[in-house]
């Protein structure tokens, strides 16, 4: 167990590493009064520590529920999946891992997983780089002729800031889904996808979140469509959009 140098009495309250006696006092206090009312804890416990530090010490170290052993394979897998789904919302991720704290998960991510994920992403980018022999075709995007009044307005999705999505996890595509729909046409191979199937794929975010396109619907990507339907007939949109529009009213 590593020990930190004690920073005594900075501005009245003690800082730095906790000593055994302090831990003992805090434990006794929580056992007596229970968790919560943290503003009362320093006084109740007789500790010269600020309430936030007391809370953190308990939640991250002293709580009897905390697992001390290293992360298991399935826990690591869970972290990776949940991080793709939730971003840096460590408390939510930790809530899915019994005995792990948000600090544990965060630290493990930064020390072990971040590098892995970054190098994997770079590897994938390298692979996806178009080879020089490939020709780039200019394609004309199909446009919807008419849009209903509700189209592109609903549903309202939270912004990245509201969801605390990390900068390196740009999922703005998710928020743009309704507008994106208005500019692209889904397909199964060379066959246009019927709207009822299309909408199913939109609601099935969970599966897509497991891929690189977090919360997006890759089958809606404009590039894919344009390659599949270079001469697509615009008239498809009128009937399909009318059908899809009704789904928002559910």
- Kindly state the number of chain residues that form the binding site for DNA, as judged by CB under 7 A: 41
Residue 9 engages DNA in binding (rule: CB under 7 A): no
Nearest in space to 86 (alpha carbons), one of 52, 63, 109: 109
Residue 24 engages DNA in binding (rule: CB under 7 A): no
Residue 117 engages DNA in binding (rule: CB under 7 A): no
**CB 172 to DNA: min, Å:** 17
Q: Would you tell me how many other CB atoms lie within 10 Å of the CB of residue 250? A: 5
Interface residue with DNA, options 4, 127, 135, 137 (CB under 7 A): 4
Residue 145 engages DNA in binding (rule: CB under 7 A): no
Interface residue with DNA, options 28, 33, 72, 110 (CB under 7 A): 110
Residues 31-70 that bind DNA (CB under 7 A): 36-39, 49, 51-53, 55-57, 60-61
Kindly provide the residue ranges of all beta strands, DSSP E only, lying in 80-218, ordered along the sequence. Answer: 187-188, 191-192
The beta-carbon contacts of 189-194 under 8 Å, at least 24 apart in sequence, are 189/228, 190/228, 192/229, 192/232, 192/236, 193/219, 194/240
DSSP string, 60-99: III-TT---SPPPHHHHHHHHHHHHHH-S-HHHHHHTSTT
Interface residue with DNA, options 8, 9, 16, 118 (CB under 7 A): 16
Helix axes 195-203, 235-247, angle to 10 degrees: 50
- Which of residues 164 and 239 has its CB atom nearest to DNA in the complex? 164
Residue 125 engages DNA in binding (rule: CB under 7 A): no
Contact (CB, 8 A) for 148 and 245: yes
d(CA 100, CA 245): 44
Residues 148-177 that bind DNA (CB under 7 A): 162, 164, 166
Burial of 46 (0-12, 13-18, 19+ CB in 10 A): exposed
Interface residue with DNA, options 8, 33, 72, 112 (CB under 7 A): 112
Residue 204 engages DNA in binding (rule: CB under 7 A): no
- Which of residues 95 and 197 has its CB atom nearest to DNA in the complex? 95
Which residues contact DNA (rule: CB under 7 A)?
2-5, 7, 10, 14-18, 36-39, 49, 51-53, 55-57, 60-61, 88-92, 102-104, 106-108, 110-112, 162, 164, 166
């Amino acid at each position: 167990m590593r020990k930190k140098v004690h920073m005594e009495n900075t501005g009245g309250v003690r800082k730095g590493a906790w000593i055994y006696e302090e831990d003992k006092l805090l434990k006794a206090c929580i056992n007596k009064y229970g968790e919560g009312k943290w503003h009362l804890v320093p006084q109740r416990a007789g500790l010269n520590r600020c309430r936030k530090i007391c809370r953190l010490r308990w939640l991250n170290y002293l709580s009897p529920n905390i697992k001390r052993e290293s992360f298991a394979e399935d826990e690591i897998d869970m972290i990776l999946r949940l991080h793709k789904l939730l971003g840096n919302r460590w408390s939510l991720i930790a809530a899915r891992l019994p005995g792990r704290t948000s600090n544990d998960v965060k630290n493990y991510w930064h020390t072990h997983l971040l590098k892995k994920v970054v190098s994997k992403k770079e590897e994938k980018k390298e692979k996806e780089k178009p080879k020089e022999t490939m020709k780039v075709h200019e394609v004309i995007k199909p446009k919807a002729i008419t849009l209903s009044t509700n189209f592109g307005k609903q549903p309202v999705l939270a912004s990245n800031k509201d969801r605390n999505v990390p900068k390196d996890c740009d999922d703005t595509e998710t928020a743009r889904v309704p507008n994106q729909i208005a500019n692209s046409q889904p397909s199964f191979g060379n066959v246009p996808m019927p709207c009822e199937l299309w909408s199913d794929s939109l609601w099935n975010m969970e599966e897509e979140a497991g891929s690189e396109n977090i919360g997006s619907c890759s089958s809606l990507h404009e590039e894919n469509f344009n390659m599949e339907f270079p001469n697509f007939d615009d008239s498809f949109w009128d009937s399909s959009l009318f059908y899809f529009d009704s789904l928002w009213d559910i």
